[in-house]
């Protein structure tokens, strides 16, 4: 009977683990792209849609292109971009196609080290997880 119970429970323990790994990989890829100074590659973690929502400093930008333009304007050089580190606090799969990710970010630059928090809504498109809403705030 114990063996049957183990066989039934084990699949549930790993439920969603592959999706969580894919979501983490999106953030790892974004971090690497940012640290290379490649905003376009960084943006590949976002849903390429005019319905993308990016909220920062109490302002909402709609659309992938507008968000890309905003990033390019705010971070025109690699020095302005600095080195990015994400600290994931929680990943919650809210359905089989959506997830909420909360965490902190930090930029290490020569003159300063801005930090903040983020809350991301991810959506699965086929086998890919992409950010569809980004709420980012400076501390």
> Using one digit for the tens of pLDDT, what is the confidence trace for 21-61?
999 999 999 999 999 999 999 999 999 999 999 999 889 99
Phi-psi region of 57 (alpha: psi -120 to 50; beta: other; left: phi over 0): left
Q: What is the residue-averaged pLDDT of the chain?
A: 91
Residue scoring higher pLDDT (10 or 88): 88
pLDDT in tens, 97-111: 999 999 999 999 999
Distance, CA of 44 to CA of 76 (rounded, Å): 18
Residue scoring higher pLDDT (80 or 15): 80
With a pLDDT cut of 90, the percent of the chain lying above it is 86
Give the CATH architecture of domain 16-138. Roll (3.10)
Domain coordinates of the chain in residue numbers?
Answer: 16-138
């Amino acid at each position: 009977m114990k063996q049957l119970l183990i066989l039934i429970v084990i699949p549930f323990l790993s439920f969603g683990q592959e999706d969580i790994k894919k979501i983490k990989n999106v953030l790892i890829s974004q971090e690497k792209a940012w640290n290379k100074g490649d905003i376009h590659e960084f943006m590949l973690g976002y849903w390429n849609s005019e319905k993308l929502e990016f909220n920062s400093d109490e302002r909402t930008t709609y659309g992938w292109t507008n968000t890309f333009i905003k990033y390019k304007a705010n971070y025109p050089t690699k020095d302005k971009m600095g080195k990015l580190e994400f600290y994931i606090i929680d990943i919650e799969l809210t359905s089989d196609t959506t997830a909420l990710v909360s965490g902190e970010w930090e930029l290490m630059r020569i003159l300063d080290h801005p930090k903040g928090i983020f809350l991301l809504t991810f959506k699965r498109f086929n086998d890919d997880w992409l950010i569809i809403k980004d709420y980012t705030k400076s501390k």
